[in-house]
Each structure stands twice: as C-alpha cells, then as structure tokens.
C-alpha cells in the first residue's frame, strides 16, 4: 500500500474552453419575426398554475435604452473588430467588440455579482428566530427519538420576502476568457449553488402540490420547474442577466445535463423559455443588428440534420401550432441573428434536447459546447415551404460532447465488452451483492487491486448498536407510509424524500423505515437501504488514481451508494492506526448535507435543519479488507456528492449509515467526488485508492 500523499483536487482538472473566430460573409436580405418555438418540458393538460411572463419585445419596452454606453456596437466593415482566435494573455473578459474601453469593468462586474451572491448566501446563517429549527434546538435530547411535529418545515409559502424587480436582460455582449483556476472553481460553485436552490424549490413545490392534492382530492399537475424559476427570478437569483455572454458561460461545463428547460434560463445558458434561438435583438443592439448567442437543437424541425460535429439547423418561423411548416420563413430575428453571428464570426452555444427515459421531465438538455455558423442559405424544406438553413460546425479542441457521452454510456450499459473490448478487470466487483453491476475498468496500467478486497454491501456495526433502547419501534403503515405516520414524525413531520426517492433537504440524520415498520418495501421512506441503483464503475485515471463514475445519469438529490466499512471502537481504531491508513473517520466529512435544500437566499429567516440532532460521530470504519465502491471515490473541495447520515436497521443515533447522494446532476462517465474534509494529510482520499 503506497504512502499517503494529499490528493489532487478534481477541480484542478476542470476543462477550460476555447474561444475562436473566423468570419464568413453571406449577405442576405431582411423581413419580419416569430420566435422559433420549442415545446415546453411537458405538454400542459391545463393552464399552468404558475404563469411565466414572457419579456416584452424591445420596441414595446419603455426601459429600452439604445444609447447605453455598454451597448453592442458593430460596424459591418473591414474594420469590424472580430474576436481574436486566441485571447490576449492578459485579457480576462472582452466586450464584443470593445467599443468603449471603460467597459472592461466587465470582469469587476462579475466580481460584483459574485459579492452579491456571497452576501446573499451569508445571510440567514445567524439571524432570524422564527424558523422551525429554533424550536427543535430546545429539545436537543439527542438520543431520544421523539416524534416532533414541524408543520412548516417543508413549505414554500411561508414568509416570502417582497419580490425584487425583474431585471431586464442586458444589451451588453461580453465574452469571458482566461479565467484562472480559482475563477473557474468560483463560478462552478456559483452555478452549482444556483442549481441546488432551483432543485430545492422545485422539489418542495412538488411536495406542496402533493399535499394539496391529498387535502382537496383533486389532481393538479405540478410544475415545480416553473415555480422554482419564477421564485428565483423574483429574488433576483437568475445568473447572467446583466450580461449577454457570448461563448462559454463561466461555471457551466460541456456535458452538463439539465432536466428542465427553465433551468437553462436561470443560469443564463439559453435565455429563451421557449424559443430555440437566443439572441440579442436588433432593438437592443446599438447597430440594429441581432446577434445569436445560443441555440437548442431538439429535432423539432423536420429539416434539421444533426451529425454531432455538424448541424444543419433550420431557422424559426412559418410553423403552425402543431409544428408543421405552413409558410415561408423570413430572415429576421433569430434567423437574422444567426446570420449576423456568422458574419461577425461569433460562436454560438449549442444545447441539445432530447427525450430521455428516466428523466423526471421526460427530456434532458445537454450543453454540447461552442459551434460556429459557417453557412446560411434559403431552401425549400420537406414541407414545400421555404426555410432558412444554417450550417453549424463544432469548434475544435473542446471536451467531448455531452450528448455523445450519453450515447456512449448507453451502449456501454448494454454491451460493455463490445464497446470497450479492453480494460475491464471485472464486470462486477460486488460479485452480485449489489442489484446492479459494479464494473472495474483500467486501461491505464496493470493495477487491479480492487479485486482483492471483499465487497461489503452494508456497514457492519458492533452488535451492541442493535440492542439500543428503542429499536423495537416502527410505524404501522401496512399500506405504505403516509404523512404524519410515526416514521414521518421521527423525521420532524415530513419525509426526507419525494415520491421518486429524491432527497428533499439534507438533515443531521434521516430515519428511514426499518424492520419494525409494517410498511412494504415500496414505502417512499425506504430509499438508501435499497442499495445501489445506478451502474457504477471503478476506474483508473492518470490524474486521480482510482475513481468512480456512473454509466447512468444520476439526478441531483438521488441516492448513489453507501460508504461502507467495519465499524471499530475507539480502542480498536487506535490499534489499527498503528499499522496502516485504512480507516475512515465519519466525523471528518464536512456537513455538506446542509447545502442540499439550503434556501437562505429565498427566505431570510431560513435556518439549517437541526433536527433530528445526533451526537458527534465518534467512530472509525475499517476498510482494509472489506469495502465497497464508495471507497474509491475521489476527493474534491467542490464535490458532486454529499454524505447524509441515515438510520434504518437500528435506532442508535451514534452509529448512522453514511449514505451518499448526488449534489448535482451527474452525467454518465463523469467522475463522482466527495469532500473528505482534507484537514490534514491524513484525511484525504484513502491511500488505498491511489
Ligand atoms: Zn415506511
Ligand atoms: Zn409509516
Ligand atoms: Zn416506518
């Protein structure tokens, strides 16, 4: 077993993106407008409960200020400043084209927004008293399991602060380049935090709707995705509203996956809730020319052709309600924007949307990187009507497309050996102990160590843990647990998971139903005890040694796996420490669970859940002989998985299972990471993983 060295932080391996240029000039003529509409995530059976306000056309907008010093200027001449192929080394962010150089304050603008976020997030840590958790702290009789009612713990409707004014999207086009590693990490964190808030509100609103449904006995389709976007918009939490970013969005990586169209708006990746082409409109642009910044390719147009690296994208307009082409398209709005982007060599972000089994919305959206519009022509489409076509070619030297990774992972799930004939050390490291295979893959070197350890499905606790006081108690829900049952009360009145097993809010500990409950295995309060559901793969990487990734797309908030080991008493641990470094100390995992469901940005009186409280975790786990897949997960200071303590097979609060949940949507084949709380060199990822 090698000696311990501090582990490399996965964040350091985040890809950087390139910017580019080139221009192609095809002069074309202009007429009128209609957005290229894309279907909403779900077809609505009835009017959505939460209406989204579509921004006014700019010519109707009173606040449209074409004379803003920061507006976009382009003169279609030889002198047109075109983004350089490689950014100047000192440049951090370019205003495109830099008409006035005092607008180089753009980067400080980013800092300013960042600061806003920081202060916004810092709020709520100390303050308000009216929250539910204040009430819980009183009863910090940590070892007793007392049903407690916390009526409002999971309600969105409490204490909504006065909405801020919606900010209109800026007319300033900027490109962000040359971020330092710290910046990259910073923006990644910002996007991640924003997405967590989005998901939390979405899930909480589903739960609220579910309660209303039960109370009123009628069915109302939940649109948590819209409500989350609306609430965040009111609170000024949408990102990149004050800049129109050309090229990569800081904090968004190629391959990032989204389940909801509105989420793209929230983070500013694609600012149109329905239109397929996002562009700075002619009315906002100072020279009167629209500029396209992103497109969603979702196969909604019969004349689209998509081979991955090259896309023939059909312009918008001329379709009827059923997406049938019924008239000629015109070179206007987004169509003209794409043509102008081609003319000025401005890159366009491409997001692919497609149906995806297992997605909550039935669809997913994947960010596939930057493309350049290289050609544009007017053609007769399959319908017989005239359509504009744009040829988009992917800019070279970018990380692999997320959509092709999804396809690759799909084929790996079905026929691994055909797709990757070399590199498999084991097709199931768990030896059938898990419900799904845990692959062991190494195409880097000859190391096959993980096969020599016995796979431990679930943590082994000392026998006395099971003889703890209240172990014989459980709920009586023969037909499945319902709100208010004994086990719900143990969790503070609400279940920790929504219907699909997504973690609603991190807590000091979660009580799942156990052997003394009368509910069936399908009870919604049994999630992590059921074991791994995604096909995981332990793999060898040159950068991080052993690592873990999934062949399935893991939704944010979903259970990944347990971190298992053999629990040792303090004395045993001391002896073990002398002969090796295969001990895991649960207390060293930072309380990342508190970030999941943190709505301090939305509610000023938000307090982090303090109930049910548990004593500090004072045990160690030996993983020297018996271990599971979790042991190979890499460390990251901005991890995509968190540790959530869970009890189910006993009620001893001092010995919870360490359950891992996804903190963000983890695309297939992206490395899973955990914050091991690297306090000193002994607490990094276990040396056995290197
Ligand atoms: Zn139950
Ligand atoms: Zn129950
Ligand atoms: Zn129960």
Tens of pLDDT, residues 210-267: 888 777 766 667 789 999 999 999 999 999 988 889 999 999 999 999 999 999 999 9
Residue 520 Cα to ligand 2 middle (Å): 10
DSSP string for residues in 221-280: ---HHHHHHHHHHHTT--TTSSSEEESPPTT--TT-EES-HHHHHHHTSS--SSBSEEEE
The per-residue pLDDT for 57 is 28
Residues paired with 277 in a beta bridge:
295
Furthest-apart CA pair in the chain: how many Å?
82
Ligand sitting nearest the alpha carbon of 526: 1
Collapse the DSSP code of 175 into the 3-class scheme (helix H, G, I; strand E, B; otherwise coil) and give the result: strand
The per-residue pLDDT for 577 is 67
Last residue of a domain, one of 366, 399, 432: 399
> CA 176 to CA 186: how far, in whole Å?
14
Residue 2 forms part of a structural domain: no
Residues paired with 545 in a beta bridge:
541
Instruction: Give the dihedral sign, CA 519/522/525/526.
Output: positive
Residue 505 forms part of a structural domain: yes
Residue 440 forms part of a structural domain: yes
**Same-domain check for residues 544 and 453:** yes
The per-residue pLDDT for 144 is 32
Residue 482 Cα to ligand 2 middle (Å): 6
The per-residue pLDDT for 220 is 66
**Same-domain check for residues 451 and 546:** yes
Residues paired with 567 in a beta bridge:
621
Residue 32 forms part of a structural domain: yes
Q: What is the CATH number of the domain that holds 574?
A: 2.170.270.10
**Same-domain check for residues 394 and 474:** no
Residue 105 forms part of a structural domain: no
* Residue 22 pLDDT greater than 80, yes or no: no
Question: Encoding tokens for residue 83?
Answer: 């983004």
Shortest CA distance to 85 belongs to which of 156, 132, 144, 19?
19
pLDDT tens for residues 581-624? 688 889 899 999 999 999 998 888 888 888 888 888 888 898 98
Contact 132, 152 (CB under 8 A): yes
Residue 125 forms part of a structural domain: no
**Same-domain check for residues 221 and 322:** yes
Residue for token pair 């075109």: 82
* Residue 290 pLDDT greater than 60, yes or no: yes
Residue 486 Cα to ligand 3 middle (Å): 6
The per-residue pLDDT for 581 is 64
The per-residue pLDDT for 305 is 86
Collapse the DSSP code of 620 into the 3-class scheme (helix H, G, I; strand E, B; otherwise coil) and give the result: strand
> What is the number of domains present in the chain?
2
Ion ligand 2: residues, CB within 5 A, are 475, 477, 481, 485, 487
Q: What is the CATH number of the domain that holds 56?
A: 2.30.280.10
The per-residue pLDDT for 323 is 78
> If residue 294 lies in a helix (H) or strand (E), which one and from where to where?
strand 291-297
**Same-domain check for residues 492 and 356:** no
**Same-domain check for residues 387 and 498:** no
Q: H-type helices in 361-468, by residue range?
A: 402-414, 416-419
**Same-domain check for residues 270 and 320:** yes
**Same-domain check for residues 373 and 488:** no
**Same-domain check for residues 372 and 283:** yes
Count other C-beta atoms under 10 Å from residue 382's C-beta: 10
Count other C-beta atoms under 10 Å from residue 664's C-beta: 23
Shortest CA distance to 690 belongs to which of 588, 538, 572?
538
DSSP assignment, residue 76? -
Ligand sitting nearest the alpha carbon of 483: 2
What's the Cα-to-Cα distance from 8 to each of 452, 545, 688, rounded to whole Å?
A: 25, 10, 14
The pairs formed by 262-265 with CB atoms below 8 angstroms and a separation of 24 or more are 262/41, 262/52, 262/225, 262/226, 262/228, 262/229, 263/195, 263/198, 263/225, 263/229, 263/365, 264/296, 264/351, 264/365, 265/229, 265/238
Residue 481 Cα to ligand 2 middle (Å): 4
Residue 476 Cα to ligand 2 middle (Å): 6
Angle at 504 between CA 502 and CA 505, to 5 degrees: 135
What's the Cα-to-Cα distance from 470 to each of 145, 198, 447, 486, rounded to whole Å?
A: 8, 38, 46, 13
Residue 111 forms part of a structural domain: no
Collapse the DSSP code of 101 into the 3-class scheme (helix H, G, I; strand E, B; otherwise coil) and give the result: helix
pLDDT tens for residues 394-446? 999 999 999 999 999 999 998 999 999 999 999 999 999 999 999 999 999 99
Residue 487 Cα to ligand 1 middle (Å): 7
Ion ligand 3: residues, CB within 5 A, are 475, 487, 513, 517
**Same-domain check for residues 466 and 390:** no
Residue 573 Cα to ligand 2 middle (Å): 37
> If residue 372 lies in a helix (H) or strand (E), which one and from where to where?
strand 363-380
Contact 344, 23 (CB under 8 A): yes
Boundaries of domain holding 611: 423-684
> CA 204 to CA 202: how far, in whole Å?
6
Residue 216 Cα to ligand 1 middle (Å): 24
pTM for the model: 0.78
pLDDT interval class at 362 (50, 70, 90): confident
End-to-end CA distance of the chain: 9
**Same-domain check for residues 680 and 538:** yes
Residue 112 forms part of a structural domain: no
**Same-domain check for residues 363 and 474:** no
């Amino acid at each position: 077993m090698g000696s311990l060295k501090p582990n490399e932080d996965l964040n350091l391996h985040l890809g950087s993106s390139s910017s580019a240029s080139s221009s192609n000039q095809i002069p074309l003529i202009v007429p009128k407008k209609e957005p290229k509409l894309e279907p909403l995530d779900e077809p609505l059976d009835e009017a959505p409960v939460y209406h989204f306000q579509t921004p006014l056309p700019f010519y109707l907008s009173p606040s449209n200020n074409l004379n803003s010093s920061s507006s976009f200027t382009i003169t279609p001449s030889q002198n047109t400043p075109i983004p350089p192929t490689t950014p100047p080394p000192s440049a951090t962010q370019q205003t495109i084209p830099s008409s006035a150089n005092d607008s180089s304050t753009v980067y400080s603008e980013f800092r300013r927004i960042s600061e806003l976020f920081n202060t916004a997030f810092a709020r709520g840590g100390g303050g308000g008293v009216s929250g539910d958790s204040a009430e819980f702290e009183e009863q910090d009789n940590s070892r007793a399991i007392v049903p407690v009612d916390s009526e409002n713990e999971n309600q969105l409707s409490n204490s909504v602060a006065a909405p801020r004014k919606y900010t209109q999207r800026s007319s300033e086009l900027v490109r962000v380049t040359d971020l330092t590693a710290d910046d990259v990490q910073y923006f990644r964190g910002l996007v991640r935090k924003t997405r967590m808030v989005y998901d939390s509100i979405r899930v909480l609103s589903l739960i609220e709707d579910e309660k209303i449904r039960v109370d009123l006995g009628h069915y109302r389709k939940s649109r948590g995705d819209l409500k989350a976007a609306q609430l965040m918009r009111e609170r000024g939490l949408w990102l990149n509203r004050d800049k129109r970013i050309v090229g990569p969005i800081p904090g968004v990586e190629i391959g990032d996956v989204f389940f909801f169209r509105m989420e793209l708006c929230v983070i500013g990746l694609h600012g149109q809730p329905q239109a397929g082409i996002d562009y700075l409109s002619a009315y906002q642009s100072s020279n009167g020319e629209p500029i396209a910044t992103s497109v969603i390719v979702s196969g909604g147009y019969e004349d689209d052709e998509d081979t991955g690296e090259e896309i023939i994208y059909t312009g918008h307009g001329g379709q009827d309600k059923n997406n049938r082409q019924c008239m000629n398209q015109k070179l206007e709005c987004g169509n003209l924007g794409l043509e102008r982007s081609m003319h000025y060599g401005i890159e366009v972000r491409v997001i692919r949307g497609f149906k995806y089994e297992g997605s909550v919305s039935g669809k997913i959206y994947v960010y596939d990187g930057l493309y350049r519009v290289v050609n544009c022509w007017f053609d007769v489409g399959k319908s017989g009507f005239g359509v504009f076509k744009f040829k988009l070619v992917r800019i070279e030297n970018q990380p692999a497309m997320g959509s092709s990774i999804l396809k690759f992972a799909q084929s790996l799930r079905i026929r691994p050996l055909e797709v990757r004939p070399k590199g498999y050390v084991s097709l199931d490291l768990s030896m059938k102990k898990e419900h799904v295979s845990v692959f062991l893959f190494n195409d880097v070197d000859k190391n096959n160590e993980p096969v020599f350890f016995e796979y431990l499905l679930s943590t082994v606790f000392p026998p006395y843990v099971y003889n703890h006081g209240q172990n014989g108690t459980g709920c009586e829900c023969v037909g499945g647990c319902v709100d208010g049952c004994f086990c719900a009360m143990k969790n503070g009145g609400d279940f920790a998971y929504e219907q699909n097993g997504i973690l609603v809010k991190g807590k000091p500990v979660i009580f799942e139903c156990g052997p003394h409950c009368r509910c069936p295995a399908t009870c919604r309060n049994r999630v992590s005890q059921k074991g791994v559901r995604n096909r995981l793969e332990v793999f060898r990487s040159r950068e991080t040694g052993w690592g873990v990734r999934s062949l399935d797309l893991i939704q944010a908030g979903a259970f990944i796996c347990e971190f298992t080991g053999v629990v040792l008493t303090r004395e045993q641990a001391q002896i073990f420490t002398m002969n090796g470094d295969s001990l895991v100390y649960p207390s060293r995992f930072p309380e990342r669970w508190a970030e999941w469901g943190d709505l301090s940005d939305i509610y000023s009186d938000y307090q982090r859940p303090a109930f049910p409280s548990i004593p500090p975790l004072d045990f160690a786990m030996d993983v020297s002989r018996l271990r599971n897949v979790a042991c190979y997960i890499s460390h990251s200071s901005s991890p995509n998985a968190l540790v959530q303590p869970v009890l189910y097979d006993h009620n001893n609060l001092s010995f919870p299972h360490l359950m891992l949940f996804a903190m963000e949507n983890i695309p297939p084949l992206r490395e899973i990471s955990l914050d091991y709380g690297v306090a000193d060199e002994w607490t990094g990822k276990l040396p056995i993983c290197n």
